């Protein structure tokens, strides 16, 4: 019940295209859903996050869509750029408890010029 | 504020040796976490501090691992009698209450 399942494992997108990464969770106590971007040899960087009281959040080219009834959320990267090539992790936590993050398995994104 | 700082960035040690990592969180962040990440995997939770109190430890954290956060400021993670299976990236993260967690650059441990 603590798992967060992420797909796809890898994704190749042309420059200017839309990248879509999906995650699903089981634990209904989760109330905070962040996405992290990680480059090789670096720590994860917080990209965007959402809470269950909204269905969508947009920050620049990055959008999270959240479906509470399906227990699913997704990251959309619009106008994907080669600099977006990285590994993306979704995560979930019960922020009112310890706030520890349960991470998905990661998606390696390659944006071709 | 320069973010979460971890030291050292890289550590190579011989099997059986003890190692200690340090994490300096973002100032005024009361929550501090340690995670471990192996190649191709997402970070896995190890332990959590609320101020100076260690409130949760994962079952991944064997008796050889110990963490402290004296006075609720910096934190240290010590691994005793290192094993090859301890080779991983050790990540520290901090947050203020229920806000987002920010990660450091990690300490890459290699046990030879």
pLDDT tens string A50-104: 999 999 999 999 999 999 999 999 999 999 999 999 999 999 999 888 999 999 9
Q: DSSP 3-state assignment of A46? A: strand
User: Any chain B CB within 8 A of the CB of A94?
Assistant: no
Closest to A49 in 3D by CA, of A104, A97, A93: A93
Partner-chain residue, chosen from B4, B6, B100, that has the shortest CB–CB distance to A49:
B100
Contact B40 A106 (CB under 8 A): yes
CB pairs under 8 A between A and B: 61
> Which of B85, B73, B92 lies closest to A101 in space, CA to CA?
B92
Contacts of B53 in chain A (CB under 8 A): none
Q: What rounded mean pLDDT belongs to chain B? A: 95
Res. B72: pLDDT tops 90? no
């Amino acid at each position: 019940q603590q798992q967060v399942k992420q797909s796809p494992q890898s994704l190749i997108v042309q420059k200017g295209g839309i990248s879509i990464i999906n995650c699903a969770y089981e634990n209904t106590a989760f109330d905070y859903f962040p996405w992290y971007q990680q480059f090789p040899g670096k720590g994860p960087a917080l990209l965007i996050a959402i809470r269950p009281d909204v269905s969508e959040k947009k920050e620049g080219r990055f959008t999270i869509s959240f479906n509470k009834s399906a227990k699913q959320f997704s990251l959309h990267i619009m106008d994907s750029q080669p600099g977006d090539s990285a590994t993306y992790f979704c995560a979930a936590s019960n922020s009112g408890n310890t706030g520890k993050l349960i991470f998905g398995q990661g998606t390696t994104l390659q944006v071709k010029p | 504020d320069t973010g979460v700082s971890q030291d050292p960035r890289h550590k190579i040690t011989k099997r059986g040796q003890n190692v200690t990592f340090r994490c300096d969180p973002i100032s005024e962040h009361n929550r501090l976490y340690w995670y471990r990440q192996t190649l191709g995997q997402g970070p896995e939770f190890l332990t959590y501090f609320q101020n100076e109190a260690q409130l949760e430890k994962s079952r991944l954290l064997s008796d050889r691992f110990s963490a402290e956060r004296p006075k609720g400021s910096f934190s240290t993670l010590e691994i005793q009698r290192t094993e090859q299976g301890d080779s991983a990236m050790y990540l520290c993260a901090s947050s203020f209450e229920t806000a987002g967690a920010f990660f450091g650059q990690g300490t890459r441990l290699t046990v030879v």
